[in-house]
Amino acid sequence: MKIFETTLRDGEQAAFIHLEPRQKADIAVSLEAMGVDIIDAGFPIASTLDWEGAYAIADATNKVQLSVAARHIPKDIKAAYSAVKHHIDRSRLATWLMPYELYTRHANNPNIHRKIIDSSRQVVIYGREIFPAVQYYLVYCGNRDKDFLRELACEVADAGATCITIADSQSTLNPDGLASLVSFIKESLPASIDISIHCHNNMGLALANTVAAIKAGANQVEATIGGMGDAGGNTSLEQILAYASYFEKNNPLFQSGCRLDSLYKIACEVSKLTGFQFASNQPFIGADTFTVETGIHHSLAEKIPNSTFEPKVIGRNITSIVGRHSGLIGLRNKLQEIGVDTSSINFHILYSKVMEASQTEGTVSNDTLLRLVKEM
C-alpha cells in the first residue's frame, strides 16, 4: 500500500488554510521522515506562492517521491517541471481532464468522449517526455459512465501513464460501488499500472471506501492529515494507517513503510502551522480522544484482556481525569498517575468527597484531589 500524502495540496484547499513555502517544506520533511511514499507538492501554476511551495518541498526533501499537478495546458506542465526540475528523477506529473461529457453544453455531443480521450493521450505523451512518471486522475468517478472510465484508463495507460487515480470527487460512491468500479477498471489494465484511490468524505465514507478499494485492487492511497481538505475533506492518513495496523496487520495489501509513532506529532505540527483545529474527539488525533473520565471505561479496561488499539502506536497515551462520571477505579488510577500512595486510602469515603466536589467543579482538578486526600 503506497501512501500518497496530499495534505500540502488537497488538504490546503480546506477553507481558510494558506501555508507559506517554508511551512510546507517543514511539514514535508516530517512526512518524509515518517515514511510516506509520495508527497503531493502542489499545483505550481496556481500562483507564485504555490510554485515556491512546490520548489521548497522538493529542495527540503531527499528521497521521497514528489507529485506536481498540472492541467492539460503546456504552460501548466512547464511550470510544474520548473518547480521540481532539480529533482526530476523522483518526480511525477499529476494531471486530469474535467468530465466535459457531464456539462450541459456537451451532454448530447456524441464526439465528446473521443475528444476527452485524445486530449488525455496527448497530455500523457507530452508529460512523459518531461517527467519519468505520469499519474492520470479519473475525476468525478461516481457521476460518470463506468465503461467510458475504463476506456479512458486504458487509453492513458497505453499513452504512458504509470498510475491511474480513481477519484470519488463528490462522495457519490459507497464501498460496494467503489470496490466494483476499481475491479472493473483494474482488470483491463496492465499489471504494471498502479491504481490510486482518492476519496472525499462528504458522506463520512472516505475510510470505508478506501478500505474497500484496496481490497478490490487499488495499491495506492491518497490521504491527508486529519482528513483535511475542501468541503467534507479527504481520507484521513492516520485513520487508514491505524486501520491497517490493527485490522489488517497480516494482510500484505495493507502494508506500508510508514512509522505510525510520529503521526500525532505531525498532526500537532500541521494544526499549529495552519490554525486548523481538529475536533476534540477526532479519531486518533483529537485532543481528548484518549482522555477517559467515565467509570465504565476504566473498569472494563481493568477486567477485559487488552485487545483494543494501543495509543502508543501513534505516539500517544491514555490520560485519566476525574469528574462526576468517574468510578472508584478511575479515581485510584488518577491518584497513582499523579504520584499518590493509595495503599491506605479509604476510597469509598474519598469517592463521596470527590463526587461532592464534582457538583461544583465538573472535572475535579489535581489540586482538589490532593487536598481531599490530605483532609481524610
- Final residue in a domain of this structure, among 274, 304, 326: 274
Mean pLDDT, residues 104-126 taken together? 90
If one compares 71 and 330, the residue with the highest pLDDT of the two is: 71
Residue 187's domain is classified under what CATH number? 3.20.20.70
pLDDT for residue 12: 95
Same domain, 199 and 298: no
pLDDT for residue 345: 86
* 170 class by beta-carbon count within 10 Å (0-12 exposed, 13-18 middle, 19+ buried): middle
pLDDT for residue 298: 58
Segment among 7-11, 34-38, 110-114, 324-328 with least mean pLDDT: 324-328
Same domain, 200 and 161: yes
Same domain, 63 and 201: yes
Same domain, 366 and 246: no
The pTM (predicted TM-score) of the whole model is 0.91
In the chain, DSSP assigns E strands to: 2-5, 38-42, 65-70, 91-96, 134-138, 163-168, 194-199, 220-223, 291-292, 319-320, 322-323, 363-364
**Domain-embedded: residue 213:** yes
Same domain, 318 and 209: no
Segment among 118-127, 176-185, 282-291, 338-347 with least mean pLDDT: 338-347
If one compares 297 and 134, the residue with the highest pLDDT of the two is: 134
Q: Are strands 134-138 and 163-168 parallel, antiparallel or unpaired?
A: parallel
Mean pLDDT, residues 102-124 taken together? 90
| Tens digits of residue pLDDT in 188-199 | 999 999 999 999
Residues 6+ apart with CB under 8 A from 77: 70, 93, 95, 123, 126, 127, 130
Q: What is the mean pLDDT of the chain?
A: 93
- Final residue in a domain of this structure, among 223, 241, 274: 274
Same domain, 149 and 59: yes
Mean pLDDT, residues 137-150 taken together? 96
Domain that holds residue 346: 291-375
Mean pLDDT, residues 237-251 taken together? 96
Residues 6+ apart with CB under 8 A from 363: 293, 321, 322, 323
**Domain-embedded: residue 183:** yes
pLDDT for residue 103: 86
Same domain, 215 and 130: yes
**Domain-embedded: residue 28:** yes
pLDDT for residue 299: 55
Same domain, 201 and 158: yes
CA 37/CA 67 separation, integer angstroms? 11
- Final residue in a domain of this structure, among 274, 305, 326: 274
Say yes or no to pLDDT of 65 above 90.
yes
Classify 165 as helix, strand or coil: strand
pLDDT for residue 342: 85
Same domain, 249 and 366: no
Same domain, 177 and 65: yes
Mean pLDDT, residues 268-276 taken together? 93
pLDDT for residue 163: 98
**Domain-embedded: residue 92:** yes
**Domain-embedded: residue 284:** no
Q: How many other CB atoms are found less than 10 A from the CB of residue 373? A: 16
Q: Output the nine-digit C-alpha cell for 304.
A: 477485559
In terms of phi and psi (left: phi > 0; alpha: psi -120 to 50; beta: otherwise), the region of 148 is: alpha
**Domain-embedded: residue 283:** no
Say yes or no to pLDDT of 305 above 60.
no
Same domain, 329 and 198: no
Q: Output the nine-digit C-alpha cell for 234.
A: 479527504
Same domain, 173 and 43: yes
Specify the amino acid at residue 229.
Answer: G
* 252 class by beta-carbon count within 10 Å (0-12 exposed, 13-18 middle, 19+ buried): exposed
Q: Are strands 220-223 and 91-96 parallel, antiparallel or unpaired?
A: unpaired
In the chain, pLDDT over 70 holds for what percent of residues? 97
Give the number of domains in the chain: 2
| Measured CA distances, 5 to 39, 74, 305 (Å) | 5, 25, 35
